[in-house]
Amino acid sequence: MQLVVRIVLTSVVVFVHSLAVAGEKRLIDIDDYFTQAFIVECEMAPSGEYVAYVELRWEPPRESRNADLWLVNVKTQETRRLTFESASDSSPTWSLDSKQLYFTSRRKRDDNQAPYNGKTQVFRLDIGSGQITPITRVGDGIDAFELSKDGNTLYYSVTDDTKGGPWASLRKAHQSVEYGVGERNITEIWKVDLKSWRTSKVVDEKKYIHEFAVSPDEKQIAIITTYDDLLITHEGSSQVDLYNVETKKTTKVKDDLWRKFETDRHGWLEHPVWSPDGTRIAFRVDYDGYPAEVFCADVTKPQVWQVKRPAGVSIYGGDLHWEDDCICFLGDVRARTHVYRACDVKDGSQGETVALTKGDHVVFDYSMASDGALCVLKSDPTSGRDLFLVKKATELMPLTDTNPQMEEWKLPQISLVKWKGANGDVVEGILELPPDYKKSDGK
């Protein structure tokens, strides 16, 4: 029921706006929908000076939407578009000095050679000059990347479907044949030294790696692994492994805490993230039909425990983020989504969990600067999806105004309604009415 309510809210809240704004308004037509831009990712610079974000937009004559990088100055709210190619730019990641931005892109040139062959590669954009430099040149593209804590090394994962499974040698020898079954994708992790520009392989465990996270000292890599890339394998059979870069040995993180649920639910593991001191890993376990849970593993003991969420709050997707000994996450309650912080997550326990944002809104993404400044991507009953700087939980300063044309539109009336069900239970739902509806109009 909560999932259904959330879908309703997040699909209509984009169009919600105060009807009390002065000026003549008009009904929305189909063409208006294609004038909208949608922010889908945000990344705050370590300095807190800028926020980079990914914006989806329709731009004729191209019929499909494209994803481009934008930048907003936190102090002046001045926005600047950084990329213009039809290349699905995403995953912005800042350099430590906040002067460069790493991102993935599918750029293409006439010679169709990597890194300009339409496959996903990592590029680096200089904020001052706008110059874009390719970092990876992988023929089939990369899956994901991560910048080391010191900013000197870029790690990336690649998938190869010719190294595992039955008849692997024959498939490799006859790659022009289209195989219906029998392939098993295997992931490797590589790194690029950004000073010497030398590339080397780091992890080759003959497994499929869904996600990875490099420890701050780069001595260990947390990897979410399965035997293959099938969804049914990920759901119920994924695990967290710790790969020791020096010994090249892998240790499995103890998993009995979440496996105990799997008589009636099967979870898949996501988003490992290291604590700043490199002693703990936080990760999320998602379930179909059940709330997700966050777990923490102390790699020095070893010890694993569940991070408790507040009563009535469900873990809602998005990234986990460490702030000293605290873990930040998105939590969903009654179709609203806020940023929460679980404090003092260490030694098998935790302290107080507090909401960093409050109010009638949905947070889709968030990011923090080095000093803890918080930027959120949110929508609410008086605005569409935009970026805000969090001054305090109930005070958010707007950074962007992505769809000013909505000022001209007549928008639906959105309200919360409650009623009692058959057994006397209180039920709450979201009611959407036409913009000009009056109660006197009747049913």
Q: Note the pLDDT of residue 214.
A: 99
The residue length of the chain stands at 443
Q: Which of helix, strand or coil describes residue 274?
A: strand
Q: Can you say whether residue 110 is alpha, beta or left, with left for phi > 0 and alpha for psi between -120 and 50 degrees?
A: alpha
Q: Can you list the alpha helix ranges (DSSP code H) found in 91-176?
A: 168-173
> 273: closest CA among 299, 247, 309?
299
Q: Note the pLDDT of residue 13.
A: 39
Omega within 30 of 0 (cis) for the link into 115: yes
Q: Can you say whether residue 98 is alpha, beta or left, with left for phi > 0 and alpha for psi between -120 and 50 degrees?
A: left
Q: Which of helix, strand or coil describes residue 380?
A: strand
Average pLDDT over residues 65-75: 97
The answer to whether residues 355 and 376 touch, using CB atoms and an 8 Å cutoff, is no
The answer to whether residues 423 and 429 touch, using CB atoms and an 8 Å cutoff, is no
Q: Note the pLDDT of residue 164.
A: 60
The answer to whether residues 55 and 84 touch, using CB atoms and an 8 Å cutoff, is no
| Position with higher pLDDT, 417 vs 13 | 417
Find the largest Cα–Cα distance for the chain: 75
Omega within 30 of 0 (cis) for the link into 302: yes
Residue 16 CA neighbour count, 13 Å, CB half: 24
Average pLDDT over residues 259-286: 88
Residue 20's pLDDT band, with cuts at 50, 70 and 90, is very low
| 188 pLDDT more than 70 | yes
Q: Note the pLDDT of residue 326.
A: 98
For 98-138, write each residue's pLDDT tens digit: 999 999 999 999 999 999 999 999 999 999 999 999 999 99
3-state helix, strand, coil in the chain (%, to 5): 10, 45, 45
Q: Note the pLDDT of residue 443.
A: 63
| 35 pLDDT more than 80 | yes
| 1 pLDDT more than 70 | no
Average pLDDT, the chain: 90
Place of tokens 């430099």: 133
The answer to whether residues 442 and 433 touch, using CB atoms and an 8 Å cutoff, is no
Place of tokens 């105060």: 18
Domain boundaries defined on the chain: 42-402
Q: Note the pLDDT of residue 271.
A: 96
What is the arrangement of strands in the sheet containing 144-147, beginning at the earlier edge strand?
144-147, 153-164, 184-193, 199-203
Q: Note the pLDDT of residue 262.
A: 61
What is the arrangement of strands in the sheet containing 50-58, beginning at the earlier edge strand?
37-44, 50-58, 65-73, 79-81
Q: Note the pLDDT of residue 4.
A: 36
Backbone angles phi, psi at 173, to 5 degrees: -75, -25
Contacts (Cβ under 8 Å, ≥6 apart) of 260: none
- pTM for the model stands at 0.89
> 234: closest CA among 187, 275, 192?
187
Residue 57's pLDDT band, with cuts at 50, 70 and 90, is very high
Residue 266's pLDDT band, with cuts at 50, 70 and 90, is confident
For 134-185, write each residue's pLDDT tens digit: 999 999 999 999 999 999 999 999 998 765 666 777 777 888 887 776 678 8
CATH of 42-402, one of 3.10.20.30, 2.130.10.10, 3.20.20.70, 3.40.50.300: 2.130.10.10
Residue 258's pLDDT band, with cuts at 50, 70 and 90, is confident
| 11 pLDDT more than 70 | no
Among 40-49, 125-134, 167-176, 202-211, whose mean pLDDT is lowest? 167-176
How many Å is the Cα radius of gyration of the chain? 24
Query: 372-376, 380-384, 432-436 — which one is most confidently predicted on average?
Result: 372-376
Q: Note the pLDDT of residue 328.
A: 98
Q: Can you list the alpha helix ranges (DSSP code H) found in 185-301?
A: 231-237, 256-259
